[in-house]
Amino acid sequence: MTDRPRPLRADAARNRARVLQVAYETFAAEGAAVPIDEIARRAGVGAGTVYRHFPTKESLFQAIVADRLHQVVERARALAAADPGEGLYAFLFLLAEQGATDLGLTEAFAGTGFDLTEALPEAEREFMGTVAEILAQAQQAGTVRPDVDAADIKTLMVGLQAMHRFRGDSEHMRRVYPLIRAALAVQKAEG
Amino acid sequence: MTDRPRPLRADAARNRARVLQVAYETFAAEGAAVPIDEIARRAGVGAGTVYRHFPTKESLFQAIVADRLHQVVERARALAAADPGEGLYAFLFLLAEQGATDLGLTEAFAGTGFDLTEALPEAEREFMGTVAEILAQAQQAGTVRPDVDAADIKTLMVGLQAMHRFRGDSEHMRRVYPLIRAALAVQKAEG
Amino acid sequence: MTDRPRPLRADAARNRARVLQVAYETFAAEGAAVPIDEIARRAGVGAGTVYRHFPTKESLFQAIVADRLHQVVERARALAAADPGEGLYAFLFLLAEQGATDLGLTEAFAGTGFDLTEALPEAEREFMGTVAEILAQAQQAGTVRPDVDAADIKTLMVGLQAMHRFRGDSEHMRRVYPLIRAALAVQKAEG
Amino acid sequence: MTDRPRPLRADAARNRARVLQVAYETFAAEGAAVPIDEIARRAGVGAGTVYRHFPTKESLFQAIVADRLHQVVERARALAAADPGEGLYAFLFLLAEQGATDLGLTEAFAGTGFDLTEALPEAEREFMGTVAEILAQAQQAGTVRPDVDAADIKTLMVGLQAMHRFRGDSEHMRRVYPLIRAALAVQKAEG
DNA sequence: TATGAATGAGCGTTCATTCAT
DNA sequence: AATGAATGAACGCTCATTCAT
């Protein structure tokens, strides 16, 4: 796992971090179609520098997605630990909000021109594992119906991200969240 | 809207229709990244002919979306007339399925690099009017909760299309539809 | 074999011919490493035009080599028909001289970064067939020793091209030709 | 020629020798197109170190050629001393075989994008002097015809290297060597 | 009016060379 | 003196759009 033979020179590490940050912002704002040259320009480095740290454009994209995914999973765990019954809803709406501002992540999730499962199988597994865990807790707490599984939740996440992106970060989504809660709530004597 | 000074020569009209049809199929199957040359080739015309009818690639895309939207609205009206209570659900799931096979429409709906409201305000208005109409009928029939509005429905449509695109046309979505029904159903003594 | 559905528009044909001619001269003078952009510039067209006629750089190179090879084979046949005994020598020295001015052909022959046999198997076969034919005639005429075969001749051709390229078109090679004749002449009582 | 003001520190000398050796092997095996970074990596030094010793890629190439040439000349002298009559042939075929495995040397000899005479006049002079010497010995021994000179021999060497490179190190060349012997042998009553 | 040839800016990527550490 | 990170000019190739035929 220690796949960094040496800890990278200080200036190189700074550049790498800068490229990563700029690339994250740029992909988030404009999607994966942004040229590498543009990212290099915004980061104030030459294109070659980007390629030194990330051998292909796709690898840069992957690095960003993996990073975001990891952060999101960590936050999800914290939320679920704080309140198991609400954990799944908090997770769901957290990811939805990410989707509003992070086009790159949305594309990765939805598989639009980038296959998360194939490109980052480990990250995908970690993510799905966390979903399953948090879902089980919520089902035990009685806040989520027992007949949905982790795949269903991922599907809903993709949908929610799309909705959020469509509507922006506005108050509109606050109208939609209760609908999603109703969708997942334990059903009382289904009519 | 009548921005065609003359009603087009017969062969020109045929060409236009043919390009539109081929472009729809091609964009739907392979996304908006397909070159215009490829569409021209499949339509059996020169690239210049495509550009005569549609001055930019984007305008061709818009024309397709307008066309599809119109058809979808017509079908929605027919479904709602046949069964007012089920009409909204039928409409919703019809559009979702379109999203599974029609990348162009999905992108237009989600506003990914294409603002429907701005580009085709009339089509958008017609669409939203129909949604409002069918929604009102369902609410009167008691199959949809009264506190959702047409904008909410459009938001859900965008989400459903994204889910469908993500999962394909598979049986998986049949698991999700009941959740959406639960989301929209009249709530019985909400806890 | 009629793989040109239509005979090409006049201006396109002119451009194609111009690109071919310029590319021939440029590859001949500077080898296959010349950028396509440079060829386009010299031909007075855009890079896209080159790519319209030849889908890859390699295909352009191949087209030129095939053309040259064909011409050379035709001239070889004529020479051999005029004087069967001298035909092989004439052919050999003709190709050697080509090598002096045509780096592209030399590279193709020598297999330097371009595998003639693999890329143009038909041209290669035609070439080798002609060599075998002319060689057999010379052997029957008693001007070439019977224990050499077509492959040996090709090897000598590669060598002669290299020599010619090395020495230029100078009179120096006129000193070398008699050595090659001695190499191939029927041996008198080998010492 | 003593253009080294100081005799280099021990570690620097070691680095220089190591780069030279690795670069030779690498160029020989994979041609001059290998990036300098790759050579540096294989030599276990930084790219900057290569550039400290050899200010351009071409100068590194030249140093290698000079080195090889020197070695070849030494071996040639030994061979000729052992058997003056056979010396020239041994030299010729030795160099030819080098050409089969050493792309760099071949290119240097053939003058393909690298003019030996201009770049390394001293090495060239030493080489040609040795050729002349060994040739004279063979001519005195009666194994080589008297009307060829050192320049002719160099021309043949270039040709033989090209042939060897073309055919690889295979048995095929064993068919060609006798032809070269016949080319150079003293002629018996030429018809 | 239709054709499809031509344009040329742009993209992802490489690599000889320079320079801060 | 050594390192290896950074640079930036190419390169092969694509494609939306224009324009001569």
Hey, what are C68's tokens? 């040259």
Q: A17 and A95: one domain? A: no
Which tens digits make up the pLDDT trace of C98-107?
A: 888 888 888 8
Whether the beta carbon of C52 falls within 7 A of nucleic chain E: the reply is yes
The DSSP result for A37-85, as a single string, is HHHHHHHTS-HHHHHHHSSSHHHHHHHHHHHHHHHHHHHHHHHHHH-HH
Which tens digits make up the pLDDT trace of A134-174?
A: 999 999 999 999 999 999 999 999 999 989 988 886 788 99
Which tens digits make up the pLDDT trace of A25-69?
A: 999 998 899 999 999 999 999 999 999 999 999 999 999 999 999
Q: D70 and D49: one domain? A: no
Cα B125 to Cα B130: distance, rounded to the nearest angstrom: 9
**Residue A3 domain-assigned?**
no
**Residue D83 domain-assigned?**
yes
pLDDT of res. A79 = 92
A66 to chain B, closest Cα gap in Å: 19
Q: Are D97 and D162 in contact (CB under 8 A)?
A: no
Cα D110 to Cα D157: distance, rounded to the nearest angstrom: 9
Q: How many CB atoms lie within 10 A of CB C85?
A: 15
Nucleotides of chain F within 7 Å of a protein C-beta?
Answer: 1-21
In A, minimum Cα distance to B155 occurs at A163
Q: Is the dihedral of CA D31, D36, D37, D39 positive or negative?
A: positive
pLDDT under 70 in chain D at which residues?
1-8, 108-114, 169, 188-191
Cα B52 to Cα B5: distance, rounded to the nearest angstrom: 15
The nucleotide minimizing the C1' distance to residue C51's CA is: F13
Q: C-D interface: how many C-beta pairs under 8 angstroms?
A: 85
Q: Say yes or no to pLDDT of A189 above 60.
A: no
pLDDT of res. C1 = 43
Q: C40 and C126: one domain? A: no
**Residue D69 domain-assigned?**
yes
In C, minimum Cα distance to D158 occurs at C163
Whether the beta carbon of A11 falls within 7 A of nucleic chain E: the reply is yes
| Residue type present at position D61 | F
CA distances from residue D188 to B168, C137, C139, C190, D178 in whole angstroms, order as listed: 86, 25, 21, 9, 16
Least CB–CB distance from D184: residue in C167, C179, C187: C179
pLDDT of res. B191 = 44
Annotate B133-178 with three-state secondary structure: HHHHHHHHHCCCCCCCCHHHHHHHHHHHHHHHHHHCCCCHHHHHHH
Q: Are D62 and D105 in contact (CB under 8 A)?
A: no
Hey, what are C58's tokens? 């390699």
DSSP label at residue C169: T
Question: For residue C191, what pLDDT band results from cuts at 50, 70 and 90?
Answer: very low
Residue C43 CA to nucleotide F19 C1', Å? 19
Tell me which residue of C116, C8, C129, C126 sits closest to C62, measured CA to CA: C116
Question: Which chain B residues 78-107 have CB under 7 A to strand E?
Answer: none
**Nearest CA to the C1' of E1 belongs to which residue?**
B12
Burial of A101 (0-12, 13-18, 19+ CB in 10 A): middle
Cα A21 to Cα D157: distance, rounded to the nearest angstrom: 59
Q: C90 and C28: one domain? A: no
pLDDT of res. A2 = 44
Q: A49 and A92: one domain? A: no
Annotate chain D with three-state secondary structure: CCCCCCCCCHHHHHHHHHHHHHHHHHHHHHCCCCCHHHHHHHHCCCHHHHHHHCCCHHHHHHHHHHHHHHHHHHHHHHHHHHCHHHHHHHHHHHHHHHHHHCHHHHHHHHCCCCCHHHHCHHHHHHHHHHHHHHHHHHHHHCCCCCCCCHHHHHHHHHHHHHHHHHHCCCCHHHHHHHHHHHHHCCCCCCC
| Whether the predicted model's global pTM rises above the 0.75 cut | yes
Cα A176 to Cα A164: distance, rounded to the nearest angstrom: 10
CA distances from residue A36 to A16, A17, A62, C22 in whole angstroms, order as listed: 14, 16, 14, 34
Q: C97 and C179: one domain? A: yes
Q: D148 and D112: one domain? A: yes
What CATH number does the domain containing C18 carry? 1.10.10.60
Q: Are D182 and C189 in contact (CB under 8 A)?
A: no
Question: Which chain C residues 10-39 have CB under 7 A to strand E?
Answer: 11-12, 14-16
pLDDT of res. D147 = 95
Q: B47 and B70: one domain? A: no
**Residue C189 domain-assigned?**
no
Q: B77 and B168: one domain? A: yes
pLDDT of res. B8 = 64
Q: Which chains border A (3 or more CB–CB pairs < 8 Å)?
A: B
Cα D114 to Cα D110: distance, rounded to the nearest angstrom: 8
Cα A162 to Cα B112: distance, rounded to the nearest angstrom: 10
| Residue type present at position B150 | A
Q: D94 and D66: one domain? A: yes
pLDDT of res. A47 = 97
Taking 3-state DSSP, the helix, strand and coil percentages for chain B, each rounded to the nearest 5, stand at 75, 0, 25
Question: Which chain C residues 44-83 have CB under 7 A to strand F?
Answer: 47-48, 51, 55-58
Q: Are A49 and A32 in contact (CB under 8 A)?
A: no
Instruction: State how many domains chain C has.
Output: 2
Least CB–CB distance from C183: residue in D155, D167, D182: D182
Which tens digits make up the pLDDT trace of A90-121?
A: 999 999 988 888 888 888 888 777 788 888 99
CA distances from residue D85 to A30, B122, C168, C189 in whole angstroms, order as listed: 77, 98, 31, 20
Q: Which chains border C (3 or more CB–CB pairs < 8 Å)?
A: D
Task: Spell out a b/e string for D142-163, using b for 16 or more CB atoms within 10 Å of the CB, else e.
Answer: ebbbeebebebbbbbbbbbbbb
Cα B60 to Cα B24: distance, rounded to the nearest angstrom: 9
Residue A74 belongs to domain spanning: 61-184
Tell me which residue of B91, B73, B68, B66 sits closest to B127, measured CA to CA: B73
Cα C17 to Cα B186: distance, rounded to the nearest angstrom: 75
pLDDT of res. C107 = 85
Counting Cα atoms < 13 Å in the Cβ hemisphere of B48 gives 0
Residue C52 CA to nucleotide E11 C1', Å? 18
Q: B95 and B144: one domain? A: yes
**Residue C139 domain-assigned?**
yes
Sequence length of chain D is 191
pLDDT of res. A176 = 95
What CATH number does the domain containing C178 carry? 1.10.357.10
Q: Which residues of B touch A (CB under 8 A)?
A: 109-113, 148, 151-152, 155-156, 158-163, 165-167, 172-173, 175-176, 179-180, 182-185, 187-190
Question: Which chain A residues 90-149 have CB under 7 A to strand F?
Answer: none
Cα B33 to Cα D168: distance, rounded to the nearest angstrom: 47
Counting Cα atoms < 13 Å in the Cβ hemisphere of A182 gives 22
Task: Spell out a b/e string for C4-31, using b for 16 or more CB atoms within 10 Å of the CB, else e.
Answer: eeeeeeeeeeebbebbbebbbbbbbeeb
Hey, what are A169's tokens? 């970060």
pLDDT of res. D2 = 44
> With an 8 Å Cβ cutoff, are A182 and B180 in contact?
no
**Residue C70 domain-assigned?**
yes
pLDDT of res. C116 = 83
pLDDT of res. B109 = 67
Q: D92 and D177: one domain? A: yes
The domain boundary, picked from B36, B55, B74, lies at B55
Digitized pLDDT (tens) for each residue of chain B, 191 residues in all: 444 455 667 788 888 999 999 999 999 888 888 999 999 999 999 999 999 999 999 999 889 988 888 888 999 999 999 999 999 999 999 888 887 677 777 776 666 666 777 778 888 899 999 999 999 999 999 999 999 999 999 999 999 988 988 887 678 899 999 999 999 999 765 44
pLDDT of res. B110 = 67
C160 to chain D, closest Cα gap in Å: 6
**Nearest CA to the C1' of E2 belongs to which residue?**
B49
Q: Say yes or no to pLDDT of C149 above 90.
A: yes
**Nearest CA to the C1' of F15 belongs to which residue?**
B35
Cα D161 to Cα D176: distance, rounded to the nearest angstrom: 12
Which tens digits make up the pLDDT trace of C71-83?
A: 999 999 999 999 9
Chain D residues lying within 8 Å of C191, measured CB to CB: 185, 188
pLDDT of res. D5 = 54
**Residue D125 domain-assigned?**
yes
In B, minimum Cα distance to A143 occurs at B191
**Residue B3 domain-assigned?**
no
Question: Which chain D residues 17-56 have CB under 7 A to strand E?
Answer: 33-37, 47-48, 51, 55-56
Hey, what are A124's tokens? 């995908």
Mean pLDDT of chain C: 90
C156 to chain D, closest Cα gap in Å: 7
- D113 phi-psi bin (left φ>0, alpha ψ -120 to 50, beta other): left
The domain boundary, picked from A37, A55, A73, lies at A55
Q: Say yes or no to pLDDT of C2 above 50.
A: no
